[in-house]
Structure 1
Amino acid sequence: MRLVFVLLALVVAPSGAFAASNFTRHNAPGPNAVGLKVVEQYDFSRGYRGETDVETGKPITGERARPIQTLIWYPATKGSGRSLTVGDYVKLGVTADDFEHAPAERGAMQAKFAAAQVATLPPTRAKAELAAPMSARLDAAPASGKFPVVIYAPSFNAEAYENADLCEYLASHGYLVIASPSFGQASRGMTTDLEGVEAQVRDIEFLIGYAHGLPRADTSRLAVAGYSWGGLANAMAAAKDGRIRALVTLDGSVRYWPNIVKQSQYLTPARVTAPMLYIAAAPKSVEDTAADVNRDQSFLAKMKYADLYKVTMYPYVHANFSVMFGQRLKGDYGAYDKDELSIANGWVETYVLRFLDGYLKGDGAARAFLDMPVAKTGAPRHLLAIDVTKSTGAPPTRAAFAAELNRVGFDKALATYQAFKTRDPGFEIDETELNRWGYQRLAAGDTHMAVGVLKLAADLHPDSWNAFDSLGEAYAADGDKASAIAAYSRSVVLNPKNANGEAQLKALGAKP
């Protein structure tokens, strides 16, 4: 893996002559200083650019593997590293997927890019925003210890630093936060389809793997946070990876793209068991809501096997969840003023921190806070609302079914299967899977388990000659000759051409 560490230069220097930033931090940072490291690396397991540029048609030169610009916020020792401004973050966007520029060329590109991001602001305000100081210090010496890991997945086509304020805040409270940009499968442009979001899922998976190589990362305590499109990708990642222990979703698209949830097939409530904090924008009117966004389609409404905390921020529209772009670098704040939005952001940070402390650090007081009515949290009552739904227990999955059989006995397979079906009518293990499972147990020498599984197959499929043929083999291996004969006999009745069944009956001393 080729790593390139970027030394940032100031876009503009802070100056007391400039107006203040429109964003005000209301929460004091945690006890840790914060460091930032920027790593330019590639996921060589995936391609990114084709042979020619999709816009110019010119041949592509240089590395064609997927670039992963990686930002790492971490607890640091005080006084080390170089201070950063908003402008230092913003200019990272210009080379987010192209690392092969000489320093002089890169500097000119970055300055131009940063200026473009504030082009709609009055000049004084633009300077103030770019010069606003941030908490992190570049390449600061890391603090000792190991820290829980939070992977941050940005919104549609957004930069890794879109919520740098939140990432810094979490790092100050003892978290290691890692983010990369939201790019499409084969170009910087993200696409609103399954291929696009799965590209971001793969990025999350890459960052989880990368975290395992960091000496300060405690990957046994892992969460994934995501905003908008990233709040669909993080749920999909959790459906595939049970190591993810918590999900933070900032007005996530898991709520707004039911068609992609359906297309994925694997993003189901039974596979998302990590607790979720979903912080939503103010609800839209019925007239403004898409026809396919309703309770019947909602993934959140179907979640049963994970604790779900839904916090609605009434001052927020969707864009406000990115502090960097929705609040710092934007001039229009809608129906609320900048100070009200800054206060709201403080409560977003509070809920995110309490949620992660509760589920990754085992903090009982933090868990209790999440269950409090808004009136008891100290938040203004008009600011937010919270709705809590607790898990109904372990989901009825294939893995959970095996665990339950291990507990109660494989001879109780049918009753256990029926109990799982009662809990979730969609639970099913087809005959082919049961047959494969049974033969795996036979090959491992677990003949009693094999009998239980293959008898379940025969019970569920009483007209299947193959199910009874397999069951006969399991009984014979388990030393139950009478039951083996009965199973093979039933198989031959169902399929008189079953030559194997007839041969096995003869070998057992029975008439076909």
Structure 2
Amino acid sequence: MKQFLIAFLYCLAAAAQAADEFSFSTPPGRHGVGLRIVQQYDHTRQYKPRVDMRTGEPVSGERARPVQALVWYPAARGGTPLNFRNYMETVPTEDDFTTSAAEIKRVTDARIDGFAGKRRAALLRELARPMLAVRDARPASGSFPVVIYAPGFSASAMENSDLCELLASHGYVVLAAASMGAHTRSMTDDLEGLEAQVADIAWLIGHARTLPGADTNQVAVVGFSWGGLANVLAAARDDRIKAIVSLDGSVRGTREWVDGGKDAAKYVTPARVAIPMLFVGRRPPTIEELNRAEVDTRFSFLNEMRWSDVYITTMLPMKHMDFSSYSVRVGREGSFGDYTRAGIALAHSWAARYALRFLDAYIKGDASALAFMNNTPAANGAPPHMILTDVRRNGGKTAPTRENFVARLGSEGFEHAIALHRQFAAQGAGFTLGANEIHGWGSALAARERYAQAREIFRLGTHLYPDEPFLHQGLAEMQAESGQTADALRSYRRVLELAPQHAAAAAFVQAHASIPP
């Protein structure tokens, strides 16, 4: 009986300890995981100003933007894995590569010292727990898609190390850098700060090209919170990005950067982000809560993404910070509302599973993963009352962008330019081609001696801008070059109607006066 009681008390203690620790339950893949820490400067961007903005004294040392990249990759199995403290020790060097080992230890210890009692003991156990990654492990052979992870506002690259390790174990090369402002370690809540993180994403994609086994023809971006907005801007700029995962991303709540208003990044339109997207978020506020907060709900970028496959996966137990495994690991007591740390950890693990399966579906072309994304949560074996899904399939529609417009002309013929333009413009997405843009396009084709194609582009220009003489002149020149002399004469006469002093038009009309109108 005494032995039974001791065993029972031990089990109770172990259960209590386990409930106070993070458990990432999504199983890893077949690969081991390696981690490299890369410290480089982006010399195309200035980071430090000439003087210290606190003291006014001259700044010493390197002024270019520091980029400390954590790189997870599929690796051979074996070796001593990192623990979670090792990840925390990457934080002090994110914007200062000269930080000493003693300073790294001091800063890390100071973060731990903020906890006390039972929570401190649990945190110390967390820090000692082994992770999947082995530092500088031998890379696995093969070619693997690239995932760029964008952390939340001012957060560190290691904030979702469990997810990054998981993806690497399933055959992805994953890169992450801290969320930093344009000129400060702290992110700034403005477009300049946001675009600094966007530029870091571009830098990481470029760096991935130097990595063995990294297939930069297949790139996805994953981001949490602010990073889940930065990766949308990155995708609007860079068509190398084939899919987006937004973990409760600010693309939902911080609409002013993407709504086309005066503060928005004008290049961010749903047509330019016409790629598959997974938004994994917390339960959204009710309409009553939004009304009390006087939130304007008339615009949603997610609703406007009608040229994309969009999956909205709602994790009912989770709050915003629960999408960061660092936050779940170190969160203080009472920070999980009506749920336990174990319950949140389970939901967090399922959120990671959805991210993995989405990437498998759209980056690797895995049919079973696509079926998973289109299944109900119950069919996927998710616990009851945890997940809601909203699946919005594109149906094969083509986004009205200039790139798609040119591609259609290339395949169907430039003589269809006016009709195709009418189709694209009818989609109501603000598809426009300016007069100067059309003239430059036609002139570029003419320089390549593609006179027939240039003629049709200038014809489109005169259709859209019938009172612009320089477009009629371009059309006339290309009609003449392609042997349509009578048509060229009519076009030059139109030039003279709009610009009576036009010397070239007058000369052509005089030289061909014998041709009847």
Q: Scaled by the length of structure 2, what TM-score is found?
A: 0.91
DSSP-derived class of the 2:307 partner = coil
Q: Is the 8 A contact 1:421 1:427 kept in 2?
A: yes
Number of the residue aligned with 2:301: 299
Number of the residue aligned with 1:102: 100
Deviations 1:83-125 (A, max 9, x none): 2221111122122111113334444344334544x46973312
Number of the residue aligned with 1:231: 228
Q: 1:132/1:58 Cα in 2 relative to 1: closer, same or farther (>3 Å)?
A: farther
Q: 1:22/1:411 Cα in 2 relative to 1: closer, same or farther (>3 Å)?
A: same
Q: Is the 8 A contact 1:34 1:136 kept in 2?
A: yes
Q: 1:36/1:103 Cα in 2 relative to 1: closer, same or farther (>3 Å)?
A: same
- The sequence identity of aligned pairs, in percent, is 42
Q: Is the 8 A contact 2:150 2:176 kept in 1?
A: yes
DSSP-derived class of the 1:34 partner = strand
Q: 1:503/1:121 Cα in 2 relative to 1: closer, same or farther (>3 Å)?
A: farther
Matched, 1:83 2:81: yes
Question: Aligned equivalents of 1:479 and 1:353: distance in 2?
Answer: 58
Q: Is the 8 A contact 2:455 2:474 kept in 1?
A: no
Q: Is the 8 A contact 2:92 2:99 kept in 1?
A: no
Number of the residue aligned with 1:64: 63
> Structure 1 residue 445: deviation in Å?
0.5
Partner amino acid for 1:461?
Y
Deviations 1:446-484 (A, max 9, x none): 111011111111122222323222211111111110000
Aligned with 1:112 (options 110, 113, 117): 110
Deviations 1:305-354 (A, max 9, x none): 11111100000111110011244343321221112111111211211111
Q: Is the 8 A contact 1:94 1:113 kept in 2?
A: no
Q: Is the 8 A contact 2:271 2:429 kept in 1?
A: no
> Structure 1 residue 67: deviation in Å?
0.9
Q: Is the 8 A contact 1:87 1:114 kept in 2?
A: no
Number of the residue aligned with 1:199: 196
> Structure 1 residue 288: deviation in Å?
4.2
Q: Is the 8 A contact 1:91 1:113 kept in 2?
A: no
> Structure 1 residue 426: deviation in Å?
1.7
Q: Is the 8 A contact 1:258 1:292 kept in 2?
A: no
Q: Which has the larger displacement, 386-395 or 198-207?
A: 386-395
> Structure 1 residue 425: deviation in Å?
5.2
Partner amino acid for 1:321?
F
Number of the residue aligned with 1:9: none
Number of the residue aligned with 2:320: 318
> Structure 1 residue 300: deviation in Å?
0.5
DSSP-derived class of the 1:361 partner = coil
Structure 1: runs of 5 or more not aligned = 1-15
Number of the residue aligned with 1:269: 270
DSSP-derived class of the 1:484 partner = helix
Q: Which has the larger displacement, 33-42 or 475-484?
A: 33-42
Partner amino acid for 2:29?
G
For these two proteins, the number of residue pairs brought into alignment is 493
Matched, 1:186 2:183: yes
Structure 2: runs of 5 or more not aligned = 1-13
RMSD: 2.0
Q: 1:430/1:119 Cα in 2 relative to 1: closer, same or farther (>3 Å)?
A: farther
Query: Aligned ranges for residues 20-99 of structure 1 at < 5 Å?
Result: 20=18, 22-80=21-79, 82-99=80-97
Number of the residue aligned with 1:363: 366
Q: 1:249/1:120 Cα in 2 relative to 1: closer, same or farther (>3 Å)?
A: farther
Number of the residue aligned with 1:461: 465
Number of the residue aligned with 1:160: 157
Matched, 1:145 2:146: no
Number of the residue aligned with 1:474: 478
Query: Aligned ranges for residues 342-353 of structure 1 at < 5 Å?
Result: 342-353=345-356
Q: 1:334/1:115 Cα in 2 relative to 1: closer, same or farther (>3 Å)?
A: same
Number of the residue aligned with 1:214: 211
> Structure 1 residue 499: deviation in Å?
2.2
Deviations 1:21-46 (A, max 9, x none): 52112222111111111122111111
Question: Aligned equivalents of 1:287 and 1:49: distance in 2?
Answer: 46
DSSP-derived class of the 2:403 partner = helix
DSSP-derived class of the 2:252 partner = coil
Question: Aligned equivalents of 1:339 and 1:39: distance in 2?
Answer: 34
DSSP-derived class of the 2:44 partner = strand
Question: Aligned equivalents of 1:174 and 1:302: distance in 2?
Answer: 32
Q: Is the 8 A contact 2:123 2:329 kept in 1?
A: no
Q: 1:122/1:351 Cα in 2 relative to 1: closer, same or farther (>3 Å)?
A: closer
> Structure 1 residue 494: deviation in Å?
2.3
Deviations 1:357-386 (A, max 9, x none): 111111011011111122211112310111
Q: 1:344/1:122 Cα in 2 relative to 1: closer, same or farther (>3 Å)?
A: closer
DSSP-derived class of the 1:377 partner = coil
Q: 1:239/1:510 Cα in 2 relative to 1: closer, same or farther (>3 Å)?
A: farther
> Structure 1 residue 291: deviation in Å?
4.0
Partner amino acid for 2:72?
W
Q: Which has the larger displacement, 19-28 or 242-251?
A: 19-28
Q: Scaled by the length of structure 1, what TM-score is found?
A: 0.92
Question: Aligned equivalents of 2:30 and 2:296: distance in 1?
Answer: 42
Q: Is the 8 A contact 1:258 1:293 kept in 2?
A: no
Q: 1:120/1:314 Cα in 2 relative to 1: closer, same or farther (>3 Å)?
A: farther
DSSP-derived class of the 1:44 partner = strand
DSSP-derived class of the 2:326 partner = helix
DSSP-derived class of the 1:75 partner = strand
Number of the residue aligned with 2:6: none
Q: 1:276/1:119 Cα in 2 relative to 1: closer, same or farther (>3 Å)?
A: farther
Aligned with 1:338 (options 314, 337, 341): 341
> Structure 1 residue 51: deviation in Å?
2.1
Deviations 1:179-205 (A, max 9, x none): 000000001111111101000000000
Question: Aligned equivalents of 1:121 and 1:43: distance in 2?
Answer: 43
Number of the residue aligned with 1:500: 504
Deviations 1:396-444 (A, max 9, x none): 1112111212222222221111111222352111221111111111111
Deviations 1:36-84 (A, max 9, x none): 111221111111111222234343221111111110111111112x322
Question: Aligned equivalents of 1:365 and 1:464: distance in 2?
Answer: 55
DSSP-derived class of the 2:91 partner = helix
DSSP-derived class of the 2:148 partner = strand
Number of the residue aligned with 2:455: 451
Q: Is the 8 A contact 1:119 1:126 kept in 2?
A: no
Partner amino acid for 1:100?
T
Q: 1:84/1:271 Cα in 2 relative to 1: closer, same or farther (>3 Å)?
A: same
> Structure 1 residue 225: deviation in Å?
0.4
Question: Aligned equivalents of 1:425 and 1:315: distance in 2?
Answer: 36
Question: Aligned equivalents of 1:205 and 1:449: distance in 2?
Answer: 34
